[in-house]
Amino acid sequence: MATGITAREKHSPDALTAAIPGRDPYPLPDPSAVATLTYPGRLEADQVIAPIQSSFVRPDRPETPIDLEPNAFVLCDNLVGLNAIANSPNRARLIYLDPPYNTGFDFHSRDLKHAYKDDWHTPAYIEFMRRRLILARECLADDGSIYIHIGHQMLGHLKVIMDEIFGPQNCRNIISRRKCSSKNFTSKQYANIHDYLLFYSKSKSYYWDQPTQAPSKEWLDREYPKSDQRGQYKLVPVHAPGTRNGETGLPWRGKNPPPGKHWQYAPSKLDQLDRDGFIHWSKTGNPRRKVYLSADKALPYTDNWDAFRDAHHQSIKITGYPTEKNLNMLKMIVGASSEPGDLVIDPFCGSGSTLHAASDLGRRWIGLDESFSAAEASLHRLKHGLTAMGDYVERDAANDRQPQLEGLMFQESTGGANEAREFSFVVDQEILPAFREQVDELAAI
């Protein structure tokens, strides 16, 4: 029977759908369609970007509005802060945001002060984030990058929203970060030990400085298992795929390259390598090249981060803010996705980890948060530093987990980490009448 199906289609893996086009009675979206999430109350992007009436002041000059300029912690709803930056000339090379994860909990600091609420209805959460991400895109330079740190709860929703706002082609990585160990985990499910970072660029041309780490001893011993008087080495083949008609395709020392392969080097070069002791001969007479470990061996980071656990999960005091992120992780992100002098924005800055990292690495920064506890933690950290951080570096190094970030290593007492920083404390002018007392306490930190 004539079916109109060619022999090739019959045998191709999608032959069935290709063969019976009318089987699905409803047409699929055409290629120009954009996938999105629907719910009531979705604003159009231009409504979100339209300027909101706002003004910002320093607590000591409450009548004098100022522009939001770099090196400032701003106490405000970040919708207002991001909207003001989006409608200013300032553009960031990097935005890192670590919003509420929608865990269903309220968070308190170690001294039991309420930090922030994290219990949302899903549509409200999505639209809350979507509006801020639309504004964040406006605040980014064309070659800028954005990282959203998020738990498993809203990861899927935010991926869809980010694809809608930034384009799926600009999704660079979904990074898994190991946040804690699994000890004492008793729930009837797999232990939850990761959270995630969605890394997007604004365009295909974005700033990137590949971060690397020193390999662990375990890795070195596995990859470079042999040693001699020259040092640690591994053995690699002296042949490569593909056949050649020239001298690399001819026998060397009476041996042909394996079938389908050629020698990596001309016979004269192989002879030289052998004379210099760089060729290892197996018992069965097969040659392999010795590759020695170099002192500066460094491995690029993958999308699986194991070296940046939260200090809180190791009971190590840093600022006491409940969801404080690992400073070295932020230094790596800042180093990879911005250059000295660039502006880095953290719209959910909490205890100021990003601001600290940006400041230590010579970037300009703006941090936004609406929580008094977050303001207290950030301002204290920026003015007085972190005395307990030294313990953290030592302990982690003892566990062989401290990452060796090239050029980015945290300097315990010699660098800027514990120095007071030059910065402004700025507040949304509208909140001042209701919260004058709290703001004065914060200004006095």
Ligand X SMILES: C[S@@+](CC[C@H](N)C(=O)[O-])C[C@H]1O[C@@H](n2cnc3c(N)ncnc32)[C@H](O)[C@@H]1O
Provide the H-helix boundaries in 293-388. Answer: 327-337, 353-360, 372-384
CB of residue 310 to ligand X, shortest distance in Å: 9
Q: Which is nearer to ligand X, 70 or 367 (CB)?
A: 367
* Cα–Cα distance, 321 to 373 (Å, whole number): 8
Q: Which is nearer to ligand X, 374 or 382 (CB)?
A: 374
Q: Are the C-beta atoms of 204 and 169 separated by less than 8 Å?
A: yes
- Check binding of 224 to ligand X (CB under 6 A): no
* Cα–Cα distance, 274 to 290 (Å, whole number): 10
DSSP letters for 24-70: SSSPPPPTT-------TTPPPHHHHHSPPP--EEETTEEEEEE---S
Q: Which is nearer to ligand X, 94 or 238 (CB)?
A: 94
CB of residue 68 to ligand X, shortest distance in Å: 14
Q: Which is nearer to ligand X, 213 or 378 (CB)?
A: 378
- Check binding of 360 to ligand X (CB under 6 A): no
10 Å CB burial of residue 80 (0-12, 13-18, 19+) is buried
Question: Which positions from 59 to 98 touch ligand X by CB under 6 A, shown as an x/- string?
Answer: ------------------xx-------------------x
What letters, b where the CB count within 10 A reaches 16 and e where it falls short, cover 165-202?
bbeeebebeebbbbbbeeeeeeeeeeeebbbbbbbbbb
* Cα–Cα distance, 141 to 147 (Å, whole number): 14
Q: Which is nearer to ligand X, 106 or 209 (CB)?
A: 106
CB of residue 387 to ligand X, shortest distance in Å: 17
* Cα–Cα distance, 136 to 60 (Å, whole number): 29
CB of residue 368 to ligand X, shortest distance in Å: 5
Question: Which positions from 303 to 342 touch ligand X by CB under 6 A, shown as an x/- string?
Answer: ------------------x-xxx-----------------
Using DSSP's 3-state secondary structure scheme, residue 235 falls into strand
- Check binding of 213 to ligand X (CB under 6 A): no
Q: Which is nearer to ligand X, 262 or 381 (CB)?
A: 381
Which phi and psi angles does 166 have, rounded to 5°?
-105, -15
Candidate segments 7-15, 218-226, 276-284, 345-353, binder of ligand X by CB under 6 A: 345-353
- Check binding of 350 to ligand X (CB under 6 A): yes
What letters, b where the CB count within 10 A reaches 16 and e where it falls short, cover 376-413?
bbbbbbbeebbeebeebbeebeeeeebbebbebebeee
Candidate segments 36-44, 259-267, 269-277, 343-351, binder of ligand X by CB under 6 A: 343-351
CB of residue 128 to ligand X, shortest distance in Å: 7
Q: Are the C-beta atoms of 312 and 322 separated by less than 8 Å?
A: yes
Residue whose CB is nearest to ligand X in the complex, by number: 350
CB of residue 98 to ligand X, shortest distance in Å: 4
Contacts to ligand X from residues 100-119, by CB under 6 A: 100, 116
CB of residue 168 to ligand X, shortest distance in Å: 26
Task: Report which DSSP code applies to 184.
Answer: T
Using DSSP's 3-state secondary structure scheme, residue 193 falls into coil
Query: Encoding tokens for residue 201?
Result: 């660029």
- Check binding of 371 to ligand X (CB under 6 A): yes
Residues that bind ligand X (CB under 6 A): 77-78, 98-100, 116, 321, 323-325, 348-351, 353, 368-371, 374
